[in-house]
Chain A
């Protein structure tokens, strides 16, 4: 049986993902100053500390962890 807190939590997650979809939709409109999520990812991946591609390592690491967390753990 679904409790109120569970329904509220699910609603909050839906709202969060609707937020992501809305910002992405705004970003893809002509002349938008909002970068797309892919632009954000690419920008973060550019970050380097000396010769070490810290941003690339962090983003790859996060995505690999996400896959492991969802499909393997």
Chain B
């Protein structure tokens, strides 16, 4: 069942909230954010700035909201299968010490995210995800 309150019907999609504007803006933010290496103050600042800005937009009611289900069907439990599987694999490897032989996800991703193109692409995916959440 989908809930569509009147305001969710989108107060005539604001010009700046359209994909044609938002996607390039998020792309620019990703290109800048990915410049900063991990463990630097600038990278922390960039994550907090970009993430905080999107959270503020999502909480301020300035964005047209997408419809959200009022309740979920039992079929939603299918999502538990990959979720629990991922959680168990991550937990087991964490308990093994997150070593080379037993890497957690972040240990596997670190060398990939050290390369700027992959880092920028992942940064964009993260920002796009945050944008999607802000619209809910």
Question: Which residues of A are interface residues toward B (Cβ below 8 A)?
Answer: 3, 5-6, 9-10, 12-13, 15-17, 19-20, 22-23, 26, 32-35, 37-43, 45-46, 56, 59-60, 63-64, 66-73
Compute how far the CA of A48 lies from the CA of B49 in the bound complex, rounded to whole angstroms. Answer: 26
Whether B68 lies near A70 (C-beta < 8 A) is no
Question: Which residues of B are interface residues toward A (Cβ below 8 A)?
Answer: 33-34, 36, 38-40, 43-44, 46-48, 50-52, 55, 58-59, 66, 68-73, 75-76, 78-79, 81-83, 85-86, 89, 93, 100-103, 105-106, 108-109, 113, 119, 122-123, 126, 129-130, 132-133, 136
Closest Cβ–Cβ distance, residue A25 to chain B (whole Å): 11
Q: What are 30 pairs between A and B in contact, CB < 8 Å? A: A3-B100, A6-B101, A9-B102, A10-B108, A12-B85, A12-B89, A17-B82, A19-B81, A19-B82, A20-B82, A20-B83, A35-B72, A35-B73, A35-B76, A41-B133, A42-B69, A43-B68, A43-B72, A60-B133, A63-B130, A64-B48, A64-B51, A67-B47, A67-B50, A68-B44, A68-B47, A71-B34, A71-B43, A72-B39, A72-B43
Interface of B (DSSP majority class): helix
Whether B102 lies near A70 (C-beta < 8 A) is no
Residue from B51, B70, B102 in contact with A63 in the complex, judged by beta carbons closer than 8 Å = B51
Whether A23 lies near B133 (C-beta < 8 A) is no
Q: Which one of B69, B85, B136 has the highest number of Cβ atoms from chain A below 10 Å of its Cβ?
A: B136
Whether A9 lies near B89 (C-beta < 8 A) is yes
Closest Cβ–Cβ distance, residue A22 to chain B (whole Å): 8
Whether A67 lies near B86 (C-beta < 8 A) is no
* With A10-B108, A15-B85 as contacts: A71 and B103 at CB distance below 8 Å: no
